[in-house]
């Protein structure tokens, strides 16, 4: 057999010795090829923070404001994390905002009106999310209604359900200590450091084990320096954040001391790790990407496509429920507008700004956290600068449009550089 045709497409697959320079070159060529990943969101976050830091140095850069960013952005980020799963299949869930409202209303009813303990209320809220998600998923996957229409109907109907649950406009207060603590209390500073250390050590262990395992089998590995840099980077970022959050941020220490990592932060972190594990390291996660990339190929590979499609709606609505619990905790109450107005749009925006593709098949849970941070910084910074809600909406809209353009352009770029 001749090998003339074979040699044309490139050199033999020799195993290159990993170098830091090669790793960087690899990354740059991926970016040029249209695989920009989280880069736009990170750059956007840096630019926004720089601008606000220059314009409002005293208020934007204060420790108190830094803590505020987390509690302000938490609910939207949690909903966005669930939306990533739906977006990965190229579907959409417009009802996630009001689904979180319904779940929050269930929570408030169970804990305040019926007087059950907080954990019963939380379970009831999440169970409500599961039921909502199953229903939406069944309608999309089994009956075949486009998800846009199903969830638009859900959006309208759930708005009504929230109104019914809070008895036409009155609001239900949430006074349970544990529930209020979620979005309003902080971890003890020492506990913050312990958790940070655990996170860094855990990350280092996973990275180093994987490196050793791959090297032992003679597979291509990232250079050890890059692995060390990743671990160091995480340690520095987490360390700085925890240090700042552990500073005293009370206006008057004599009345109340206010310091430590807000409790929502570890909640988001744990969910981020869990869902990232599910998406990247389990066959279920792999199948989600496969269905999002090529549904027919997934079906032929023996993947239960309907089951996957239903399950992502369940995850999305359950995460919306958790977002709703955090929102109820932050407001100390549930009213007809919980999960309403711009919550859903911010959540979709957060996922897309972070780098999740609306066309399906591309995205990570971390995108939602990154995008959620961008949305929270805009909301927070513009508020500090005294802009009205109108200006804030316009700016957020423009940023979302920018993110969607980056997505569309990078897809074109990828299609042009791939030799299809």
Residues, the chain: 420
Enter the tokens of residue 387.
Answer: 């802009």
Pairing of strands 172-173, 333-334: antiparallel
Q: Minimal distance in Å, beta carbon 272 to another protein?
A: 18
Residues 320-379 that bind another protein (CB under 8 A): 361-362
Tell me the closest approach of the beta carbon of residue 16 to another protein, in angstroms.
Answer: 9
- Give the nearer residue to another protein in terms of CB position, either 219 or 256: 219
Q: Which is nearer to another protein, 164 or 220 (CB)?
A: 220
Q: If binding means CB under 8 A, how many residues of this protein chain bind another protein? A: 45
Q: Which of residues 246-285 bind another protein (CB under 8 A)?
A: 281-283
- Indicate whether 417 belongs to the interface with another protein (CB under 8 A): yes
Chosen residue from 287, 309, 364, 392 binding another protein by CB under 8 A: 287
Instruction: Choose the stretch contacting another protein; rule: CB under 8 A; options: 10-18, 128-136, 161-169, 241-249.
Output: 10-18
Q: Cα separations (Å) of 220 from 11, 217, 226?
A: 16, 9, 13
Of positions 217, 251, 386, 390, contacts another protein by CB under 8 A: 217
The DSSP H or E segment spanning 81 is helix 63-88
Of 275, 241, 384, 267, the residue nearest 327 (C-alpha): 267
- 3-state DSSP: the chain helix, strand, coil percent, rounded to 5? 75, 0, 25
Query: Should residue 219 be labelled a site residue for another protein when binding is judged by CB under 8 A?
Result: yes
Q: How far is the CB of 295 from another protein (least distance, A)?
A: 9
CB atoms near residue 274 (< 10 Å)? 11
* Contact by Cβ (8 Å): 385, 52: yes
Residue 85 burial (CB < 10 Å; 0-12/13-18/19+)?
buried
**213 contributes a contact to another protein by CB under 8 A:** yes
What are the residues binding another protein (CB under 8 A)? 1-13, 33, 35, 213-214, 217, 219-220, 281-283, 286-287, 289-290, 292-294, 296-298, 300-303, 361-362, 414-415, 417-420
């Amino acid at each position: 057999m001749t090998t003339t045709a074979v040699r044309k497409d490139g050199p033999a697959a020799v195993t290159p010795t990993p170098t830091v320079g090669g790793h960087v070159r690899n990354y740059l060529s991926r970016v040029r090829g249209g695989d920009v990943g989280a880069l736009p969101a990170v750059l956007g976050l840096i630019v926004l923070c720089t601008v606000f830091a220059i314009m409002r140095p005293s208020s934007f850069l204060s420790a108190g404001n830094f803590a505020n960013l987390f509690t302000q952005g938490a609910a939207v980020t949690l909903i966005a994390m669930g939306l990533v799963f739906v977006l990965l299949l190229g579907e959409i869930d417009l009802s996630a905002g009001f689904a979180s409202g319904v779940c929050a209303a269930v929570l408030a009813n169970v804990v305040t009106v019926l007087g059950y303990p907080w954990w019963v209320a939380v379970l009831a809220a999440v169970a409500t999310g599961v039921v909502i998600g199953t229903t939406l998923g069944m309608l999309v996957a089994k009956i075949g209604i486009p998800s846009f229409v199903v969830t638009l109907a859900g959006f309208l109907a759930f708005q009504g359900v929230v109104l019914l649950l809070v008895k036409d406009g009155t609001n239900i207060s949430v006074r349970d200590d544990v529930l209020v603590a979620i979005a309003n209390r902080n971890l003890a500073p020492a506990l913050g450091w312990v958790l940070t250390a655990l996170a860094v050590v855990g990350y280092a262990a996973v990275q180093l084990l994987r490196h050793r395992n791959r090297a032992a089998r003679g597979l291509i590995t990232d250079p050890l320096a890059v692995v060390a840099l990743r671990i160091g980077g995480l340690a520095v970022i987490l360390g700085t954040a925890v240090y700042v959050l552990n500073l005293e941020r009370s206006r008057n220490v004599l009345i109340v001391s206010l310091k430590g990592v807000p409790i929502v932060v570890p909640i988001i972190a744990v969910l981020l790790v869990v869902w990232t594990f599910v998406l990247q390291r389990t066959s279920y996660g792999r199948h989600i990407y496969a269905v999002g990339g090529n549904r027919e190929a997934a079906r032929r590979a023996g993947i239960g496509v309907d089951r996957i499609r239903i399950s992502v709606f369940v995850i999305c609505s359950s995460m919306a429920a958790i977002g709703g619990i955090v929102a109820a905790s932050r407001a100390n109450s549930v009213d007809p507008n919980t999960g309403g107005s711009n919550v859903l749009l911010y959540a979709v925006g957060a996922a897309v700004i972070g780098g999740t593709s609306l066309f399906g098949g591309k995205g990570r849970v971390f995108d939602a956290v990154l995008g959620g941070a961008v949305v929270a910084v805009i909301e927070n910074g513009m508020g500090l600068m005294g802009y009205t809600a109108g200006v804030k909406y316009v700016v957020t809209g423009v940023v979302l449009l920018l993110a969607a353009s980056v997505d569309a352009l990078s897809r074109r770029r990828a299609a042009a550089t791939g030799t299809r």
